[in-house]
Amino acid sequence: MKMDVSRERSPARYEQVKLYITERIQDGEWKEGQKLPSESELVELLGVSRMTVHRALRELMTEGVVVRAQGVGTFVSRPSPKADLLELHDIADDILSSGHVHTARVITQEAIRADIDLAFSFDMRPGSKLFHSVIVHFEDDIPLQVEERFVSPAFAPEYLQQDFTLTHPHRHLYHISGPDEIEHVVFAVSPTPELQSLLDIGLHEPCLQLVRRTWVKGRVVMKGIFTYPGNRYSLGGRRKSSSDNF
């Protein structure tokens, strides 16, 4: 039965779209691993805006209900064991504590305008200003992590003036303020051509990708995307009641 969410006023339309999708998954109409209708098809089917559908799918992805593959589509998630992501440290500290040499190469350090995805992540308007950096971290000259960060200029106004070959974003941000809340989501991904080049890996070598958001005083101040070669790094640690991760 088609649901006309365009006439509904409460709850919010994106919540209605989420409900429409989850009900069909729960009822077995859309099964594990099945590809969902495209965003354009959902817009036409439900009579809502593309932004509404996009937000609904983004939230369902964060909740683990669906998975999205860029350029391929959105799929119903397969159940998998869930565990809390344990505390993570600055990659430089991990490398140095293991007795190896850490170096960093800055690929990008710039101001950008937020696209729709970033605007949702930061709860801001599309086109708002963000700081953006991409850094490759090396252990004894072997690339171990590609660190991509988007940072609120209001929180860290001097972010672009830092020399991140000498200091590290983690330390600079934590020096301003420790986060009040942290969100971690981990994916297994196939590397893009750019990641293959930066990490010096082959086309079919899997990677671990950690997406982190941090809040200070109720506002998202940083989104980080940390990518590791799957055969060189593992994620884990000891969880504490409070965290200093940035």
CATH number of the domain residue 189 falls in: 3.40.1410.10
For residue 22, give the CATH number of its domain. 1.10.10.10
Percentage above 70 pLDDT, the chain: 83
107 lies in the same domain as 65? no
Residue 191 lies in domain: 91-229
- Domain assignment present for residue 85? The answer is no
50 lies in the same domain as 104? no
> What integer pLDDT is reported at residue 241 of this predicted model?
40
Cβ–Cβ under 8 Å, residues 112 and 128: no
Q: How many domains does the chain have?
A: 2
Which residue is it, tokens 């991990």? 94
pLDDT one-digit tens code per residue, 23-63:
999 888 998 888 899 999 999 999 999 999 988 998 888 77
Which residue is it, tokens 């593309």? 50
176 lies in the same domain as 107? yes
Rounded to whole angstroms, how far apart are CA atoms 156 and 167? 15
What are residue 24's phi and psi, to 5 degrees? -70, -30
Rounded to whole angstroms, how far apart are CA atoms 204 and 190? 7
User: Helix (H, G, I), strand (E, B), or coil: what is residue 167?
Assistant: coil
